[in-house]
C-alpha cells in the first residue's frame, strides 16, 4: 500500500499547543538546549533527524511519537538552535504538527488567505506592524511570528514559524534575517 504523503491531520487529531510570543511554543521554551527540548516533548514527539544540535546550534525534526498511521509519518515540528541562545525558532508542520493557538487564533493547517485576514485584524487591534517576507508570508516582528505556507498536495496550508527575541528583527527577511535558509528553501 502506497503512503499518501499529503494526508493532513484534522484539529481533533493534533496536539494542542499555545504560543506566548518570545517565551514558549507549547512545552518548548525559547532558550532551551536541544536535550531539554527532547525531554519537554518526550512521549508526544521524537527526534528523527538532526544536524548540528550537539553544540546547541543547527536544527532537528520531531515526528509524532505514537503515530501508527503511515499516512501521517513525517516531521511535525522543526526546531532551530542558535549557539548563543539555544532554542531560537520553532516551525510547525502544516500537515501533522500540533495546533498552535495565539489568543484563540489557530495558526496551523489553515488556508493562508483566511489566516492572513484574521492575523491582520489581530495586529491592527493591537497596534502591531504587519510585514511580508520575500515569499509573501505575513509576519509580525513584534510577535516573532511568520505565517509561512506549505504544500499539501494541490493546496497550501499555514506553517507558522515562531522565533526568540534575538531572531525577531528582520524575521520576515529571507536573505538577511536569522531564520535559517533551510526553512525558506525547504518549504518555498
List, for residues 114-156, the tens digit of each pLDDT value: 999 999 999 999 999 999 999 999 999 999 999 999 998 888 9
Write down the pLDDT at residue 2.
Answer: 40
Q: What is the value of pTM for the model shown?
A: 0.93
Quick check: 67 pLDDT over 70? no
How far apart are the C-alpha atoms of 183 and 167, rounded to whole Å?
14
Sequence spans of domains, the chain: 13-186
Amino acid at each position: 500500500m502506497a503512503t499518501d504523503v499529503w494526508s493532513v491531520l484534522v484539529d481533533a487529531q493534533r496536539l494542542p499547543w499555545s504560543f506566548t510570543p518570545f517565551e514558549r511554543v507549547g512545552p518548548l521554551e525559547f532558550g532551551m538546549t536541544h536535550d531539554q527540548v527532547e525531554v519537554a516533548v518526550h512521549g508526544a514527539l521524537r527526534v528523527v533527524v538532526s544536524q548540528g544540535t550537539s553544540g546547541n546550534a543547527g536544527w532537528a525534526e520531531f515526528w509524532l511519537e505514537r503515530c501508527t498511521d503511515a499516512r501521517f509519518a513525517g516531521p511535525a515540528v522543526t526546531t532551530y538552535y542558535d549557539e548563543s541562545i539555544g532554542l531560537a525558532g520553532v516551525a510547525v508542520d502544516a500537515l501533522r504538527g500540533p495546533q498552535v493557538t495565539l489568543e484563540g487564533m489557530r495558526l496551523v493547517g489553515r488556508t493562508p488567505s483566511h489566516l492572513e485576514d484574521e492575523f491582520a485584524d489581530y495586529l491592527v487591534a493591537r497596534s502591531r506592524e504587519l510585514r511580508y517576507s520575500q515569499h509573501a508570508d505575513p509576519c509580525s516582528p513584534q510577535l516573532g511570528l511568520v505565517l509561512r505556507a506549505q504544500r499539501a498536495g494541490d493546496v497550501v496550508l499555514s506553517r507558522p514559524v515562531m522565533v526568540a527575541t534575538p531572531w525577531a528583527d528582520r524575521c520576515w527577511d529571507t536573505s538577511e534575517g536569522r531564520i535559517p535558509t533551510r526553512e525558506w528553501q525547504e518549504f518555498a
